[in-house]
Amino acid sequence: MNKGGWFNDRGVMSGVLVGLGFWLVAVILLAVNWQRLPPEMPWFFSMPWGEQQLIGKTWLGVMVIAFGGVMIVNGLFVKLVGAGEELLKRILIWGGVTCELLMVLSLIRVIMVVL
């Protein structure tokens, strides 16, 4: 068993680094394109076409920051789980990484639609 904490578990630590990388890609992508983005952009593609699909561009920034917070909370849950639950730790971290990847892909899709 790994008694050194979650920093020494390669599966958990690599998940944290990959999630951080995805989050940084989202932050950089949003920062680089911020001035070129229109005030409202489509986000809710499942809604009927028109104004119901639109969100303000500030909400994109809020979502990116919120997903960073989700990764932090996920890391705290992993730390609270304790030793002996290596599979649960990896599932929590890699589930967060999957959510982070989906957020980045959605952000790329929206930016490609509006620019």
Does residue 40 lie in a domain region? no
Looking at residue 5, its pLDDT comes to: 58
For 13-33, the pLDDT digits (tens) are 899 999 999 999 999 999 999
Can you give the residue range of the structural domain that contains 108? 24-33+59-115
Tokens linked to 50: 């028109």
- Answer whether residue 95 shows pLDDT above 90: yes
Does residue 45 lie in a domain region? no
Looking at residue 42, its pLDDT comes to: 87
What's the pTM value of the predicted model, to 2 decimals? 0.83
Does residue 46 lie in a domain region? no
Does residue 107 lie in a domain region? yes
Domain tally, the chain: 1
The rounded distance, in Å, linking the Cα atoms of 16 and 11 is 9
Does residue 42 lie in a domain region? no
**Helix ranges restricted to H, 10-85:** 10-33, 57-81
For 29-83, the pLDDT digits (tens) are 999 999 999 999 888 878 888 888 888 999 999 999 999 998 999 888 888 887 7
> CA–CA distance from 57 to each of 44, 47, 87, 105 (Å)?
13, 18, 38, 16
Contact 29, 100 (CB under 8 A): no
Looking at residue 44, its pLDDT comes to: 84
Does residue 65 lie in a domain region? yes
Does residue 41 lie in a domain region? no
Higher pLDDT, 9 or 25: 25
